Structure 1
Amino acid sequence: MEDKRELLPKNVRPTHYNIFLFPDLEKFTFEGCVDIDLEINDDSTEIITNVYDMTVHSVSITDVASMEKQDATNFELDATAQTLKMTFANTLKKGSKAKLTIKFTGNLNNEMNGFYRSEYTDNNGQKKYMAVTQFESVYARRSFPCWDEPAIKATFDIKIRAEPDKTTLSNMPIIKEEKITINGKEYKDVTFDTTPIMSTYLIAYIVGELEYVETMSNPTAPAEAKPIKVRVYTLKGESSQGTYSAEVTARVLEYFSEYFNIPYPLPKMDLVAIPDFEAGAMENWGLVTFRTVALLFDEKKSSVASKERVCTTVAHELAHQWFGNLVTMDWWSDLWLNEGFATFVGTLATDHLYPDWKIFTSFVVDELQSALNLDGLRSSHPVQVEVNKATEVDQIFDQISYEKGATIIRMLNSCLGEQKFMDGIRIYLKRHMYGNTVTRDLWKALSESSNIDVESLMGSWIKDVGYPVVSINNYKQGNNDMTLSLSQKRFISSGDMTPEEEAKYATWWIPLGIITHDSPSKPLDNILTEKEQTITVPYPEGNNKFIKLNFNETGMYRVKYPKEILNTIGETIKMGLEDKSKEVIGVSDRIGIIADIFALAKNGTEQTDNALDLLKYFEKETDYNVLSQIYLKVGELKSVWYNKDGKLLEALKKLSLKIFSPLAEKYGFDYSSKDSFIDSKMRTLVLRAAALNGDKKIIDELIRRLELFIKGDNDILNPNLRKLAYTVALSNTTGAQAEKFYDDIFHIYQTSEIADQRLIALQSLGAAKDSKLIKRTLDLALNTELIRLQDIMYCIVNLTVDNPNIKESRPATWKWMLDNWSTFEERYKTSGSILGAICRYSTNGLNDTKHIKEIEDWITMKGSKLDIIRRPINQILERLKTQNAWIERDNTRVQAWADKYLAN
């Protein structure tokens, strides 16, 4: 197959970089010099390397054997290709070694990638800056000339010049500090130890006024593992909030050292909270960088949701230290190898630390459904995706690379068995240490450990777009067995796949995981390998008979049942909820039943009123994760049908209150230190569901508590409840009272010292329903003095999700985006993830024909200017059209269901 990738020429290859950088945090520039040891593979007079957004002053090359030095006769930058082409008079001979020296000046930009500046205000109200890096995917080239491709690994010596009072960090420990004076001003030159062989995107360095907390990780396996010094760095005055993540880091490093059976390869692990950071975190080897909210946690002042986020983010990034850093994908087409695997084993590590969190059940609600939702679109992409240009890479850091990747790894772990899976991973990592791999290398190792042809099994899961829906078309019950006629085809959210499209899709290898009343916890090991297949399973006589596919929802597919089988599952669930001793259908399976029928309703192969009727079996549900799925599915219907006349919204509120209000009454408002993690999440969920569906008693009490909290009673409103209280107060007041709440909540955003509490205050402002306050929130989102560039989404998300005046706030947000698009294009020209999020939230729910046409016209008018977000833009449009078709198809039925439900 023709390789269309835009790669650097192979005539030379770097083996070592010696980098010197001198950042100026007043002029926002940096001076630099890099010496690069090269191996010459072909006779050459021309060398091309990656460079972007810098000025090159001089280029020379020295032959190592003869020590002959020559200056480049010419060097030219290509801003579009992001390259530097250097020409030399004398030929560099094949087989020789040379040292390339380049002097340059770069920009400490404010675009959150490359070598950039992050701004903050210190405790004395002074504006300060720190210099930080973000090189994934292709931004090392913004800091020093390099071969900026993951497969071109080298070792690195790094020296940074900085003011004496600044903390200076890099991947490796400091080995030398020298004081120097320049023009009467004192500086220090900080030299770091040589790195292992690694990819350029994992290099990192930081200069800033920081403090830290420290602990030790003491892995006991394998035998050669050594203690690792762990530090969490923060801005001054915030280090106490790093204690929790330092402890998590120490324990997770121990867990992974044992799980992978390879010691952590570096002598230290630093984690740093960065005020301005586009992603959630970045796994730079030995120097992991984070958004503040993803690293810092205060046991008394942060929410349990924040604790979970910090733990899972830290675990994910530490998984990368082995899977991604020690062994690296060869090219970005295999990004899923990094991200999908780190998501799965990060969840494993979290489950190891906190088994009571039931994190793999949450995985079914969150990661699995997120992957299924995106991959049900035609505009999705394969897990193993073609990437040809540097500018295309950032668009695949999405739910396919992360969540779908993690889901199919989880499925494989279940099929092979945990021990064989772990053994295969150990083979893979040991075999490819310090090297680069493709997906086939992982399959080969897992095949060796399991004696199963993993590549054949997994081929369609990673090479094809989408996933299957398994349908039970017919069934026949015998004396002691049941014969099922099954079929598989690609699930499409819009439900309008043509026969021609269907013929294109491969056949998936699908582990059916069948459970019955006879075997409710030990699934049968049937596998569906054909488009249509008949299987017979044991199905003896007995009470409360049922059959269900996809035990524990370990397979990435949906199931369509005949109504009779679905009803028997529902009755079995209901019986188990009424009498726990009769519970045979577990939590993950209950989540899957709900998720599948609502997805099938959306694509037209099931009726939405049937999906709603199914919820009657769950009226006594008490599991947090199942209730969370119900809340999300009912919320999705409310969001999609927001603009239609009829009684549906009223009926959905009544249905929600029937399920959630008794639980809200039971749980109450007061959190206790004795509460389990799940109990804390449960209380927050049921109070939220009751309040946002109009439970007046809950609403009044939340507003009462908020008023006392604003007056200074910090204990009256637990951190887990503050987001809800802010949202409820702004959603249920108008005029002067709403403005007062808005001012008070905005003040909390500006003054709170806890990152997650700042951001929930900011996000809540979008729930204000007054037209004046909707406009104020949209104006605020543009104000870079008040809102960090990375946080713009927090301003707008509630305007199109939880605003009670959504008929006004959604079109207003769309118009605001159109009016300010040129500003966003400039601010986020290299931040496709933020630009895509602005589009996603600004168009959320605008599923009527008029707005879809407006969005299509805008996309057409913008043309190639939207290439940086082409994938997410296509997905936004497809989702809106799917919603529009859903409403057109099912509106009459759901409104009839609503009339009937309200009459009861």
Structure 2
Amino acid sequence: MGKGFYISKPLGFVLFGLGAGAVLTIFALSVVYVQEKRKNEVNARDGTRIVTTAAPHRTSAPSNEAWDKYRLPDALLPEYYNVTLWPRLVPDEEGMYIFTGKSGVVFTCLKETNLILIHSNELNFTLTSEMHHAKLTGLGGTSAPAILETWFQTQTQFMVIQLKRKLQVGKSYWLYTEFHGELSDNLGGFYRSEYTENDVKKVVATTQMQPTAARNVFPCFDEPSMKAVFHLTLLHPPGTVALSNGMELDNQEVLQTRFEPTEKMSTYLLAFVVSEFTNIRSPPEANILIRIWGRREAIESCQGDYALNVTFPILKYLENYYNTTYPLSKSDQIALPDFAAGAMENWGLVTYRELSLFYDPKVSSNEDKEWVVTVITHELAHMWFGNLVTMRWWNDLWLNEGFASYVSYLAADYVEPTWNIKDLMVQQQVQKAFDVDSLVSSHPLSSREDEVITPDQIDQLFDTITYSKGAAILRMLSEFLTESIFANGLHNYLHEYAYSNTVYTDLWKKLQEVNSSIQLPASINEIMNRWILQMGFPVVTIDTRTGSITQQHFLIHPEAVVDKPSDYNYEWFVPITWLKSGSNMGQHWLLTKTASYEPMKTDTDWLLANLNVTGYYRVNYDPQNWERLLTQLNSDHKVIPVLNRGQIIDDAFNLARADIINITLALRTTKYLYEEKEYIPWESAVRNLEYFFLMFDRTEVYGPLQVCLKAQPLFDHFKDITSNWTQKPPRYMDQYNQINAVSMACKTGVKGCSELTRMWYRQWMKNPDTNPFLFLFLNSYSANSVEFSDSVQASSSLSRYLEYSIDPNLIRKQDITYAIVYIADNVIGQPLVWDFVRANWEHITKDFDDGSFFSGGLINGITKKFSTEFELQQLQRFKEDIAASSFTFDMQAIERAIEQTKANIKWISENKAQVMNWLIEQSD
């Protein structure tokens, strides 16, 4: 699933730029969603009302009974399902949207048992036989035991069927049920999405099964290792089209669409959609049918063209990369108006947010285009890695999502070779992972299966560690093995385990088997276990005076107590690559906490470690080597590779935050930027200096900070190369850096910047179809602009838009987090948002089905400025209130916020005076 991507990307223009002001909050909330205000009801056709007998539900105290455990027993194995579903796209007489269904599953008995446990949640069942809610039939001449009792275990989400006698080992049985459920708008399971077309409301019935929502749609063995074949039939209204994982086989006059059987796959990959969408498709001569589906208006205005153009080359690239043919006959990709994640890798029917699949050159930006191609590559990478071969249990989710995140950059680089997009992975994935993994509230990539059992625990795994750290670790593995060996091992892995399930060590085994040329200090399993079975990462300190190398667990808050033991004592096998004075290169494995390596000893040359940031670690040096690196940057910075120029800045600022080096040393790494024009170093600087703006925007340091940064000439550079802002920079990275130039200039009061962005804003308001590239700069308005301080930033206005943010008629549920956090980015808006969220927490969360990503992004966005004892106490009290409530969401989000707030308080107390003095010295 593309969740790891979308939380780090902008929601259209709402999230572009740095430190956005409230002017765009209001504009975004009133314009982007204005179409929602035009929703009109159509005359509803009567749906069929299904009357059922209420099924007994039990909620028992913890026990040793099988139905009180969250994991399925290993006595039964599904072979195939026959499922027929009928979604009603109009409300019934009670105003509810429902779906009805019939489902049968063939399973084989592996161990004697008189108990059938099958997942079922939020479904109402019709009595099918002898006053029971299921009917059991033996196959192949086998007689089925009679059902003694049927009930539903609420906590563990099981339908429990007790039998009068035991099932026979090796025999197959057919379990049949009839049921109905609500086609709600909670963005999970089988749900409805709505949009307007020609002022008429349209309803889409669609799905999101990952990770544990298939059980909300029909009874099933809802665990990833319980793979089966699915035979699906959908009943749907005239004028609609039905889609699923397999190709449509027939569409009768009664609008019953039957689909070809799926491949053997996990329940979470099942998908189906009923809509009035249209499509564009690949030409008949293509050997894979590719269809891009969406709203008719969007398809007819060519918004799906880019996705169609890149999908086939992406599939061919991945076929070559995996050395494995795409296993399906078609690839449907569909853009949904309402979708919680960025996208979902359903096999053969990938579902997307509209912003993740559609690209409109009239109004979309370059970053929108990059987002589309990387999400598509991420999801299509899953067609093999995740779908063809699937993790046995959710504790290895990181392998699925981390791998897709890593490979997405390779495939995107193939289809857009001029973008140099692989370099962006360092900031978008590696450094993003560093930020979370440097907290004691982090967690290992992989854990024991028995540590991840409940749906809530599974949900919490869909986070930055799983996606971004997973990608960074696999990138490091590929680099020290070489890409060719890595890809060869992947091919063997996919070939041996096709249509089955694995654990991560199965991949290490296949990589080990093909490695005959790279000398490693230990087995791949030994090396990688240290990176995935313990949280965090090391900071490697190199003393060039002695050749000494040390490693220690890097914590951004060094006084934080690590209460999570590690079998490896937070010691890693670290692949150190290094460059000396721009010429001599080498590699060395650090296998202990302290070692000595003579080639790294130098008295005159500078030494740079972690070339191109291929390793997942930070680097510190002795003071003399830091000085030599700064001297080189200030004299001829291009001698140092561009990724490492960004690394030096990012490492230095984070080392300073962790009290490892002095804050003034970190600030000095930015002085050479007077001559730097490349995006990656500038982006590292902007991201780290943003922390200074967050911490000091309510203090006396803010003014000198603006004055110091105002002297940078990047704004004038782009003014020159764009002929006074009339042209677009030709290089892709320059287009990104132009955003930094304008954002920083307006934030620090550079002459001419505010006037320029005001002009662009007025132009855009008059003609929203103007060049979308210019619109990127509208976020460059200073958050403290005098012009807006008395109007747009008024508390009453922001409070009104906060109320709008939780009105589903104005803001789609999928966008609640973005709208609220966007307002919190404003100095005046942040305390309003904090009060608003605490007062409305139940209302905000009760209907949202994607808890961990939702709450994690929301809490982080609101609390990132917290830096006082009063704010810390409020946050701790909020944690206590949530813990005492019945809410289910990622408590790790609040724990991370508390830890970060403590670190912020300490950092300000220790560094405020030093920063102030250094800034004043620079302006003298």
Normalised to the residue count of structure 1, the TM-score between the two structures is 0.89
**Aligned residue in 2 for 1:506:** 570
**Aligned residue in 2 for 1:232:** 292
- Change beyond 3 A, Cα 1:101–1:412: same
Distance 2:849 2:318 in 1: 37
Which residue of 783, 800, 804 corresponds with 2:824? 800
Distance 2:695 2:469 in 1: 25
Per-residue deviation, 1:500: 9.4
Deviations, residues 525-559 of structure 1 (Å, cap 9, x unaligned): 21111110011117789xx8311111111111111
**Aligned residue in 2 for 1:26:** 90
Q: Is the 8 A contact 1:734 1:769 kept in 2?
A: no
- Change beyond 3 A, Cα 1:883–1:216: farther
Distance 1:373 1:70 in 2: 57
Q: Is the 8 A contact 1:157 1:194 kept in 2?
A: yes
Distance 1:501 1:309 in 2: 36
Deviations, residues 132-162 of structure 1 (Å, cap 9, x unaligned): 0000111111111001100110001000000
Per-residue deviation, 1:809: 2.1
**Aligned residue in 1 for 2:421:** 359
Distance 1:426 1:558 in 2: 32
Q: Percent of counterpart pairs with the same letter?
A: 29
Amino acid at match of 1:847: S
Q: Is the 8 A contact 1:647 1:899 kept in 2?
A: no
**Aligned residue in 1 for 2:535:** 465
Residue 647 (structure 1) aligned with residue 701 (structure 2)? yes
Which residue of 157, 161, 168 corresponds with 2:235? 161
Distance 2:653 2:602 in 1: 31
Q: Is the 8 A contact 2:743 2:779 kept in 1?
A: no
Distance 1:334 1:96 in 2: 32
Residue 189 (structure 1) aligned with residue 266 (structure 2)? no
Q: Secondary structure at the match of 1:271?
A: strand
| Range 726-735 or range 462-471, more displaced | 726-735
Residue 140 (structure 1) aligned with residue 205 (structure 2)? no
Q: Is the 8 A contact 1:729 1:738 kept in 2?
A: no
Residue 871 (structure 1) aligned with residue 895 (structure 2)? no
- Change beyond 3 A, Cα 1:501–1:784: closer
Superposed, which structure 2 residues align to 1:79-228 within 5 Å? Answer: 79-122=154-197, 124-180=198-254, 188-215=255-282, 227-228=287-288
Superposed, which structure 2 residues align to 1:665-676 within 5 Å? Answer: 665-668=719-722, 670=725, 672=727, 675-676=730-731
Where do 5+ consecutive residues of structure 2 fail to align? 1-63, 92-96, 127-132
Distance 1:355 1:267 in 2: 28
Distance 1:469 1:367 in 2: 18
Per-residue deviation, 1:684: 2.4
Which residue of 544, 549, 564 corresponds with 1:475? 544
**Aligned residue in 2 for 1:316:** 378
Distance 2:82 2:768 in 1: 56
Amino acid at match of 2:811: I
Superposed, which structure 2 residues align to 1:464-863 within 5 Å? Answer: 464-472=534-542, 474-476=543-545, 483-496=546-559, 505-517=569-581, 519=583, 523-537=585-599, 545-577=605-637, 583-644=638-699, 646-668=700-722, 670=725, 672=727, 675-712=730-767, 714-715=769-770, 718-725=771-778, 728=781, 732=785, 734=787, 768-801=792-825, 803=826, 806=827, 808-828=828-848, 831-863=851-883
Residue 883 (structure 1) aligned with residue 904 (structure 2)? yes
Distance 1:244 1:829 in 2: 31
- Change beyond 3 A, Cα 1:797–1:862: closer
- Change beyond 3 A, Cα 1:158–1:591: same
Distance 1:160 1:713 in 2: 40
**Aligned residue in 2 for 1:290:** 352
Per-residue deviation, 1:413: 0.8
Per-residue deviation, 1:246: 1.2
Per-residue deviation, 1:131: 0.4
Distance 1:529 1:821 in 2: 48
- Change beyond 3 A, Cα 1:671–1:126: farther
Distance 1:250 1:649 in 2: 52
Per-residue deviation, 1:778: 1.3
Q: Is the 8 A contact 1:671 1:680 kept in 2?
A: no
Distance 2:270 2:562 in 1: 49
**Aligned residue in 1 for 2:33:** none
Amino acid at match of 1:562: D
Q: Is the 8 A contact 2:742 2:780 kept in 1?
A: no
Which residue of 474, 495, 501 corresponds with 1:409? 474
**Aligned residue in 1 for 2:43:** none
Amino acid at match of 2:298: E
Deviations, residues 288-329 of structure 1 (Å, cap 9, x unaligned): 000111110012321000000000000000000000000000
- Change beyond 3 A, Cα 1:777–1:352: same
Distance 1:605 1:674 in 2: 39
Q: Is the 8 A contact 2:440 2:562 kept in 1?
A: no
Q: Secondary structure at the match of 1:868?
A: coil
Normalised to the residue count of structure 2, the TM-score between the two structures is 0.87
Amino acid at match of 1:160: L
Distance 1:641 1:262 in 2: 54
Superposed, which structure 2 residues align to 1:286-435 within 5 Å? Answer: 286-385=348-447, 386-435=451-500
Deviations, residues 35-55 of structure 1 (Å, cap 9, x unaligned): 100101233332111111111
Q: Is the 8 A contact 1:487 1:533 kept in 2?
A: yes
- Change beyond 3 A, Cα 1:659–1:601: farther
Per-residue deviation, 1:713: 7.8
Distance 1:110 1:330 in 2: 30
Residue 46 (structure 1) aligned with residue 115 (structure 2)? yes
Q: Is the 8 A contact 1:824 1:835 kept in 2?
A: no
Q: Is the 8 A contact 2:463 2:853 kept in 1?
A: no
Q: Secondary structure at the match of 2:719?
A: helix
- Change beyond 3 A, Cα 1:831–1:811: same
Distance 1:86 1:143 in 2: 19
Per-residue deviation, 1:10: 1.9
Per-residue deviation, 1:733: 5.9
Per-residue deviation, 1:659: 4.5
Distance 1:395 1:500 in 2: 19
Q: Is the 8 A contact 2:290 2:308 kept in 1?
A: yes
Distance 2:69 2:470 in 1: 23
- Change beyond 3 A, Cα 1:627–1:194: same
Q: Is the 8 A contact 2:746 2:782 kept in 1?
A: no
Per-residue deviation, 1:837: 2.2
Amino acid at match of 1:143: V
Amino acid at match of 1:96: K
Distance 1:652 1:562 in 2: 31
Distance 1:332 1:501 in 2: 21
Q: Is the 8 A contact 1:657 1:693 kept in 2?
A: no
Amino acid at match of 1:436: N
**Aligned residue in 2 for 1:746:** none
| Range 62-71 or range 85-94, more displaced | 62-71
Per-residue deviation, 1:853: 0.3
Where do 5+ consecutive residues of structure 1 fail to align? 181-187, 219-225, 477-482, 578-582, 740-767
